[in-house]
Amino acid sequence: MNAFAPRPLRVLLAKLGMDTHTVGVTVIAHALREAGMEVIFAGLKQTPEMVANAAIQEDVDVVGISTLSAGHTRTLPRLAALLREMGAGDKLLLAGGVIPEEDVPFLTAAGVQKIFTMGSDTRDIVAYLQAWWSEKLASETAP
């Protein structure tokens, strides 16, 4: 890597609760890696506490949660609160999967910055993260 090139975006992906469906999160991880991002998979059956701790320990920029089962209205707000409480509220928290449209306003108000609902294109997810990262890097280097 060029000494003047920005470091790659670091993304932590995880599955909260008892959700053990891995196809979606695997596809997302592959797309992000192909786009040059560093991806860390925290694993299945994670608690919000486990994910928050991993996000801090791994010093990631983004925390992405894949959810295909109910429970996101409890676990995602808890994760957002923990990240804030632990001094990691600057990390981008996003979620994707089976999230009904009617849950989006509640989750957004609770601190989930971006939600990709079922059927979202991986190219849109990659483009969103690339734009977010470019904006963040520009704001960090601005005088």
pLDDT, tens only, 12-64: 999 998 888 899 999 999 999 999 999 999 999 999 999 999 999 999 999 99
Mean pLDDT of the chain: 94
What pTM was computed for the model? 0.93
Beta bridge pairs of residue 115? 95
pLDDT tens, residue by residue, 67-91? 988 889 999 999 999 999 999 999 9
What span, in angstroms and rounded, lies between the C-alpha atoms of 127 and 18?
30
Query: How high is the pLDDT of residue 36?
Result: 97
C-beta separation of 80 from 108 below 8 A: no
- How would DSSP label each residue in 65-105? EEE-STTHHHHHHHHHHHHHHTT-TTSEEEEEES--GGGHH
Go through the domains of the chain in sequence order and give each one's CATH number: 12-136 (3.40.50.280)
pLDDT at position 4: 55
Residue 141 has what pLDDT? 80
Give 117's contacts (C-beta < 8 A, 6+ positions apart): 96, 97, 99, 101, 104
